[in-house]
Structure 1
């Protein structure tokens, strides 16, 4: 017999309510009493299915997502699988991602909630593309279907934006720069009030600058890079800050900007990579951009 995880359900309802800047009274309106919401969030009581359904509408998730949270074994399986695929994706181990997602798609994914079903399909199509099993246009069409078939109440789904980022990258890799720009600009027009989205936004800006660079639009790339660097400073974050300074130097080289300024950006990149212990990046700069670097100025 499966144990119901009411604490986990209550915690997630609380987090989503805070995400949408909603009070308990606002969430309860038209559904139940504020006291009932308080007890649900604290894990003291289990809402009826009707109540859970109405709460899910207000919090813009499918009710199946909440049900999956209630079932401890299922939720643990989903979390573990997502973590495994994310790690494989970071290491670009697409063959293993394909095997896992292909197996998962043979199961009834609807039992695990819309978000997990979307996550598995997204990574299945991505791995199929990078392994050469599927044409890029077919992959993009399938990824777009994952977005268009979403719950209409779920307007600003973080995972949707990650999928759009993948679509933009595939367009850029196939030199469809105009379509890539459109995707990135759509992502940057959104705001989601969770901490991880801020880092994701910096990554999108960095990706957009790389597409501008590929398209030889170096001025546009520099504008985006400067905005991203300012954003990092506001967040007091080193996240891909070194890569941004490096990319800035690359763009400046193509615009024949003063060599001292180019050198300063490569040195800034090295300084950040040293702080974040990313030695491979430092080695790359010293090998590829040595004409701009005076080793006597560096303390490595």
Structure 2
């Protein structure tokens, strides 16, 4: 048995719930003990591990199984593969993976893992079957799995809400989408430590698109600029080109073509660096169209 794996998994689950070592140890043991357990320097007593498992929302047997089955790193591989496929909009492949893993005890016996499957299944059901009702039901089930196990909404839950808002946006329920985006931003900023800064960027960008559909163009641009500041703060280029483009788009709707072109040019520089030839071509065409209107 490799007991060091238990410490590593405790750290992974603690991070997923956005709990500090002090918060996890409160009323159970000392923060120093948690630190040593996570480093694999000591193995927790049975009663200590029981309370740690309870706070993390898993069965204590999960940790014992992990110690005897190092193959559990397989779970992280599945997470990574699914996220990469979703990024490429390959929903058929994701759905196949989800259907297979739904029979896997490693997923069905762990709340966070099961939550991941329900979340991704909800995304696939919407995009492949256009079944909004069933997709929302799956996403809500995913949220319900952990709502009683963490005092703060974690990054995973916020991502699920973002997916929920996207479905409302794509089905033209803009007011409902905006309501969810505002709530997710508020919840995200309450998290003490942000492990994935791109989450806020995604939400603000999606919120800005929703505001544009509601003809709230100034608010939309403000949302984009907030996201750009967040990108700069975290040295991230994530969605940066799209954010500049959307500001330009808002100004084009306001018939302020000079400023629109200015932001389109900023956007195009990002997409050139990223070698996104499709977007570069599209934006150049937009600039040409607006240039004619100015002349």
Does residue 1:268 correspond to 2:262, yes or no?
no
**Matching residue of 2:124:** 127
- The correspondence of residues 186-265 of structure 1 with structure 2, limited to 5 A, is 186-190=183-187, 191=189, 192-257=191-256, 259-265=257-263
Partners of 1:84 and 1:14 in 2: how far apart? 21
Change (3 A) 1:122 1:37: closer
CA 1:193–1:280 in 2, change beyond 3 Å: closer, same or farther?
farther
Aligned to 1:152: 148
How far the C-alpha of 1:88 sits from its partner, in A, is 1.4
Equivalent runs, 1:1-300 vs 2, <5 Å: 3-4=1-2, 6-13=3-10, 16=14, 20-23=19-22, 28=25, 30-32=27-29, 36-58=33-55, 60-63=56-59, 66=63, 70-108=67-105, 112-132=109-129, 135-154=131-150, 155-190=152-187, 191=189, 192-257=191-256, 259-292=257-290
Deviation per CA, 1:113-160: give whole Å up to 9, x if none: 21111111211222122111x620221122112212325122322211
Rounded to whole Å, the distance in 2 between the matches of 1:186 and 1:63 is: 31
Task: Quote the RMSD (CA, aligned, Å).
Answer: 2.8
Distance in 2 (alpha carbons) for counterparts of 1:35 and 1:22: 8
For 1:61-108, what per-residue CA distance to the aligned partner results, in whole angstroms no more than 9, with x for missing partners?
A: 434565565455342221121122112111111111111111222343
TM (norm. structure 1) is 0.83
Aligned to 1:298: none
Displacement of 1:44 after TM fit? Answer: 2.6
Note if contact 1:209-1:222 (Cα within 8 Å) is conserved in structure 2.
Answer: yes
**CA contact 2:21–2:35 (8 Å) conserved in 1:** no
**Quick one: structure 1 residues 238 and 68, their matched pair in 2 at CA, closer, same or farther if it must change by over 3 Å?**
farther
Q: Provide the rounded CA distance (Å) in 1 between the counterparts of 2:248 and 2:289.
A: 12
1:41-67 deviations in whole A, cap 9, x for unaligned?
A: 331332234211322455x44345655
Structure 1 residue 197: Cα displacement: 2.9
Q: CA deviation at 1:216?
A: 2.6
Distance change in 2, residues 1:217/1:116 (3 Å): same
Distance 1:226 1:112, change over 3 A: same
Going from structure 1 to structure 2, the CA distance change for 1:117 and 1:111 (only over 3 Å counts) comes to closer
TM-score by length of structure 2 reads: 0.85
Matches of 1:116 and 1:291 in 2, distance apart? 49
**Displacement, 1:228?**
1.4
Aligned residues: 286
Contact 1:74 1:112 in 2 (8 A): no
CA distance in 1, matches of 2:287, 2:226: 24
- In structure 2, distance between residues paired with 1:201 and 1:277: 24
Structure 1: 5+ residue stretches without partners:
295-300
Structure 2: distance between partners of 1:162 and 1:195:
13
**Structure 2 CA distance, aligned partners of 1:208 and 1:119?**
23
In the alignment, the residues of structure 2 paired with residue 75 and residue 112 of structure 1 have an alpha-carbon distance, to the nearest angstrom, of 13
Gaps of 5+ in 2: none
8 Å CA contact retained: 1:245, 1:268: yes
